[in-house]
Amino acid sequence: MKIIDRLLEDKIHISFEVFPPKTDAGYEKVRSAIEQIAGLHPSYISVTYGAGGGTSKNTAKIASYIRDELGVESLAHLTCASSTKAEVQTVIENLKALGIENILALRGDIPEGMVFPSEDRYHYAYELVEAIRRSGDFCIGAACYPEGHVENEHKEDDIKFLKQKVDSGVDFLTTQMFFDNDIHYNFLYRIREAGITVPVLPGIMPITSAAQMKRSQELSGTVFPRRFLAMLDRFGDHPKAMEQAGIAYATDQIIDLLANGVKNIHIYSMNKPHIAAKIMENLSEVIQC
């Protein structure tokens, strides 16, 4: 099933992101986590491509397993900065052969030491979107950045490039993590004004440790609101308390989004099924409304 068909339904959809193992030795542990997350009955599960394409060989395998064996729709990430155009096309054809209908098209991080851009690689995500669209009848997702992409100095440019990407054939967008819902609401207003009308899924990251917060800030440059920093200051040195507080904070974000008419929520699970389960438990009655 194409994810866009599900997102356009007049009901609430919760989805999760998982990532492949960094080594083959970790495959069974990751598979166990994914099975538990699938048991929460999400609308779909997305599978990341790995930094620099490093874990990409398992993306299609896991996406196929989620759909065929666990009975949950899957979304395979595909990045292009770490691969040549020919390598990207091989991945697309493999996904097609496996019957994967949904792809999240990303430029991805530029591998350290690589000369980029080069002629044999796609320079921008919109070029990858065009290639996927030419290659088959896929549902294509893409990323967006409520606080602006770190490589764009002006938010106006960010919206312009996002519009170009969507117009290239994107069916839906998923946001980078954010921790202040007002940033998301303002972003939605700006992109709708720019004529971007596809569904936008807010990406929610449950921060359950101080180290995770630091890593998230390094990767995305996101702004943490005062009340989040107060929570971290109070509970950051107490792992169990910080985990509980982080789950509560993420739950509160989701409830606010749902109360304001957002229908589709994407949760970055970090392969932690017990955290995903706690959030779904907290939302058990809310998502029935």
The residues annotated with a catalytic role in the active site are 17
Q: How far is CA 227 from CA 96, 123, 180, 232, 250, in A?
A: 45, 39, 10, 9, 13
Residue with tokens 């990251």: 205
Q: Residue 248 is encoded by which pair of tokens? A: 């509560």
Cis omega before residue 199 (within 30°)?
no
Percent helix, strand, coil in the chain, to 5, is 50, 15, 40
Q: Exposure of 161 by Cβ count < 10 A (0-12 exposed, 13-18 middle, 19+ buried)? A: middle
State residue 172 phi and psi, 5-degree precision: -155, 160
Q: Which 8-state DSSP code applies to residue 262? A: -
With vertex at residue 79, the alpha carbon angle to CA 13 and CA 274, rounded to the nearest 5 degrees, is: 40
CA distance linking residue 174 with residue 220, whole number of Å: 14
Q: Residue 29 is encoded by which pair of tokens? A: 């542990």
| DSSP characters over 167-200 | HTT--EEEEPP-S-HHHHHHHHHHHHHTT--S-E
CA distance linking residue 34 with residue 280, whole number of Å: 15
Q: Are 100 and 73 in contact (CB under 8 A)?
A: no
